[in-house]
Amino acid sequence: MTPATTGDVRIPVFASVAAWRADPRRAEDGAGTARPSVREATRAIIERVRREGDRALVDLAARLDRVQLDPPSLRVTPDELAAAASGASPDARALLARTRDRIAAYHERQREASFEMEIGPGATLGWRVLPVVSVGVYVPGGRAVYPSTVLMNTVPAAIAGVPRIALTTPPGALERSPILAAAVEIAGVTEVYRVGGAQAVAAFAFGTGVVRRVDKVVGPGNAFVAEAKRQLGDVIGTDAVAGPSEVVVLADGTASPAWVAADLLAQAEHGSGEERAILVTTSPEVGRAVAAEITRQAADQPNRATIAAALDRHGAVIVTRDLNEAVAVCEELAPEHLEVMTRDPDALAARLPAAGALLLGPWSAVAAGDYGVGPNHVLPTGGTARFSSPLSVADFQKRQSVARLSRAALAARRADFEAFARIEGFEAHRRSISIRFHGSPGDPDRPDPGPSPSAANHETP
């Protein structure tokens, strides 16, 4: 590893994949688990909310958020939401509406249809796609506010047909940010709470009196919110537990170093200092130029300190022998975002399945995806993109299998079902089929039609 620059904001440059693999920082990478202190504090908060309900929420708001509330004020009234949103400019509201419409147009195409199929006389099977009955959306509201998060989480839920969508954000967030309040209005959400942190997830999981229980909770948050989702995963449905944001840029010698550097900086500024911003390139010249551009462009960035921390901990420029090795490294990383800035990005797309979002070509900036070009910006992180997917309409639906058999349809398949029961040693299973054909008091289908020919030698009770 060699320092690429002499400025305050630097990104390490690795002359080979082997050199990158030897980087001692990599031992600290990965999704990992929460620190013991976070786990214990979260467990205590969850238990308090479970036992004390609204009283715990009011006390935690005073201690953690420095806000004095009473139980009724945990819920935001329609008038309060309208008053908070009134400060948003007409231009801001128009921006939110355009963004909502773009997100909706994309997610409308994700609708999954139910189906019904006949597999023979008197035998019908079905697959029902149903909305989750109630969903709670968590929206962060600390130092920064994220109206885009409101839209990315509520629009797919509405398209899925969720009858009840609730939303919670820390106390004071809506009052501090009129555009956040306007986003909630434009999303059409009317059940809104002033609760933040792990206690918000617990309130949605158990219900507290004022806060109504939901079936699933989604939305990003800090380490305590993520840990609450982990601990309550057997009580309430959750989305994926998001880790720090990630971008990998795959570039050849045709890529613009200035554009690549700008995208790496954009990902590194999120604020935790744990973001991953990595360039994988076949061109040593591009690699060196990107590193120099990072220092130059970072000099006047308002979020320079957090950028520097993220790049120092997890930034990298990796030079590969060729495009095949570059693709292999990207697949190994399985990042949240993967930008492909090569001569022919479409030719590589099929070889890059292990990424949450694939952004093809130099004009497909990550920021365009973050701010509502259409696809969801809630994406798998920490390498989980190998087997996980972006938030979608499907996350707000459940599926139900349906079977409807007549007497004749069950009789035609009886031998197979009874044979399987014998193989697996479940006699009560077998008898639950057999009893239907030997009758019982009040059975409207007697007399026994007898087993099918293939079952003629089977023992009957």
pLDDT in tens, 332-374: 999 999 999 999 999 999 999 999 999 999 999 999 999 999 9
Mean confidence (pLDDT) of the chain: 92
Distance CA 69, CA 390 (A): 36
Q: Assess whether 336 carries a catalytic annotation.
A: yes
What burial class does residue 399 get, using C-beta atoms within 10 Å of its C-beta: 0-12 exposed, 13-18 middle, 19+ buried? exposed
pTM of the model: 0.89
Q: For residues 150-165, b (16+ Cβ closer than 10 Å) or e, as one string?
A: bbbbbbbbbbbebebb
Res 33: pLDDT: 62
Res 270: pLDDT: 86
* Catalytically annotated residue among 269, 336, 339, 418: 336
Res 1: pLDDT: 53
Q: How confident is the model at residue 440 (pLDDT cuts 50, 70, 90)?
A: low
Distance CA 94, CA 193 (A): 25
Is the pLDDT reported for residue 449 higher than 80?
no
Res 29: pLDDT: 59
**Contact assessment for residue 396 and residue 160, using Cβ atoms and an 8 Å cutoff:** yes
Res 443: pLDDT: 54
Q: Assess whether 337 carries a catalytic annotation.
A: yes
Distance CA 200, CA 207 (A): 10
Average pLDDT (203-232) is 96
* Catalytically annotated residue among 314, 337, 339, 377: 337
Phi, psi of 75 (to 5 degrees): -100, 135
Res 28: pLDDT: 64
Average pLDDT (150-173) is 98
Average pLDDT (213-231) is 95
Res 4: pLDDT: 43
Domains and their CATH numbers in the chain: 2-31+243-374 (3.40.50.1980), 36-110+128-241 (3.40.50.1980), 406-455 (no CATH)
What does the pLDDT look like over 123-144, one tens digit per residue?
Answer: 999 999 999 999 999 999 877 7
Nearest to 290, CA basis, from 339, 231, 329: 339
Q: For residue 101, give the amino acid letter.
A: D
Res 44: pLDDT: 97
Q: For 2-6, 51-55, 157-161, 281-285, which range has the lowest pLDDT when averaged over its residues?
A: 2-6
Is the pLDDT reported for residue 452 higher than 50?
no
Is the pLDDT reported for residue 419 higher than 60?
yes
Q: How confident is the model at residue 455 (pLDDT cuts 50, 70, 90)?
A: very low
Res 31: pLDDT: 47
Is the pLDDT reported for residue 228 higher than 80?
yes
Res 67: pLDDT: 95
What are the E-state strand segments in 272-315? Answer: 276-281
Reading the block at residue 311, the tokens are 């790049």
Q: How confident is the model at residue 16 (pLDDT cuts 50, 70, 90)?
A: very high
Q: What is the DSSP string of 315-327?
A: -EEEE-SSHHHHH
Is the pLDDT reported for residue 3 higher than 60?
no
Average pLDDT (133-161) is 94
Q: For 83-87, 124-128, 219-223, which range has the lowest pLDDT when averaged over its residues?
A: 219-223
**Contact assessment for residue 29 and residue 307, using Cβ atoms and an 8 Å cutoff:** no
